[in-house]
Structure 1
Amino acid sequence: MLKKTLLLAALLLLAVFANAHEYKAGSLLVDHPWSMQLPPNAPSVAAYFTIDNQGASADRLLSVDTPIAGQAQLHQHVQVDGLMKMRQVPSVEVPAGGQVSFSPMGYHVMLLDIKDRSQLVEGQRFALTLHFEKAGALPVQVVVQKQAPEHSH
């Protein structure tokens, strides 16, 4: 009985660590990187996360890269003439003591020229590296989900 209890406790602990989705670089904390499962024949997919700047000075996300795509671009949805349009942006400022959310219909990372579709199915993870002006490179693991998390809308 004690062995079963210890085994169960160990498995629960692993589950907690497997779901821990926070990455830190300097004063920046990146929380829960995620992406939707790639629909059949879709040429691109987006990645989302939250950046929390716990420091006293602003930083800037300059670029992103991943081995599963030929290109990873910073994008933002903007309203133009009453229509939502997606535009590439050169960088994203993360204000001191502030937070920037990469979410559907807001900032997001567009992954283009997908090289490895096998990693874009529910339950898989893929590597993404965020390049900040001050904090430097921050490698994260993006979890692929079938649906957007409730907090992402």
Structure 2
Amino acid sequence: MLNKLVLLAALALPVYYVQAHDYATGSLTVTQPWSLALPLNSPTAAAYFVITNEGQAPDRLEAVDSPIAGGAQLHEHVSKDGTMKMQHVQSVEIPAGGNLVFAPMAYHVMLLDLKDRSKLVDGQSFPLILHFEKAGDLTVDVTVQKQPPESAHSAHAH
């Protein structure tokens, strides 16, 4: 009986890690990367996630890229003259001991010139490479979903 329980726990362990959607490099952890499923004719897509810095010094996300897009840019939403607008940013700092939320109406990754729209269907995933100043490169798998995760509704601060 004990052998069966140990075997069951061992088989369930990889599923737990796959569903955790956490990726780490250096003192940084990237949690739950996701994107919204869009019509196949959509010219762009966006990716969202949370970066946590458990280190003593800040780090900087300097660039992003993905094989499904001809280009990828860091963007943020800002209020100008009472209107929300999206603007390109060169890099984003992740504070020491803090986190940075990439969410709708906040910081996000814009994927431009989409090459493989088949990866933007609910249930699919695609790689996104994050280039950090100190922690180096980190590849995460972005899960495509019909609706934002519950955590995204309350994570608009940055």
After TM superposition, the score normalised by the length of structure 1 is 0.92
Match of 1:65 in 2: 65
- Following superposition, the deviation at residue 18 of structure 1 comes to 2.1
1:19 aligns with 2:40: no
- Following superposition, the deviation at residue 12 of structure 1 comes to 4.0
Residue range with higher mean Cα deviation, 119-128 or 69-78 = 119-128
Distance 1:118-1:7 versus aligned 2 partners, 3 A rule? farther
| Identity across matched positions, percent | 62
Match of 1:90 in 2: 90
Unaligned runs of 5+ in 1: none
Q: Whole-Å Cα distance in 1 between the matches of residues 115 and 37 of structure 2?
A: 15
Q: Aligned partner of 2:56: which letter?
A: A
Residues 129 and 139 of structure 2 are in contact (CA less than 8 Å); yes or no, is this contact kept in structure 1? Answer: yes
Q: Aligned partner of 2:112: which letter?
A: L
Q: Aligned partner of 1:79: which letter?
A: S
Q: Which runs of 4+ in 1 moved over 6 A?
A: 4-8
SS of equivalent to 2:97: coil
Q: Whole-Å Cα distance in 1 between the matches of residues 58 and 7 of structure 2?
A: 45
SS of equivalent to 1:47: strand
Q: Deviations over 1:76-125 (max 9, x none)?
A: 00000000000000000001111000000000000010000111111111
Match of 1:45 in 2: 45
Superposition CA RMSD, Å: 1.9
Aligned residues: 153
Q: How does 1:93-132 map to 2 (within 5 A)?
A: 93-132=93-132
Q: Deviations over 1:29-71 (max 9, x none)?
A: 1101110112232100100000000000000000000000001
Q: Whole-Å Cα distance in 2 between the matches of residues 94 and 13 of structure 1?
A: 30
Residues 40 and 118 of structure 2 are in contact (CA less than 8 Å); yes or no, is this contact kept in structure 1? Answer: no
Q: Whole-Å Cα distance in 1 between the matches of residues 125 and 40 of structure 2?
A: 18
Residues 40 and 120 of structure 2 are in contact (CA less than 8 Å); yes or no, is this contact kept in structure 1? Answer: no
After TM superposition, the score normalised by the length of structure 2 is 0.89
- Following superposition, the deviation at residue 27 of structure 1 comes to 0.5
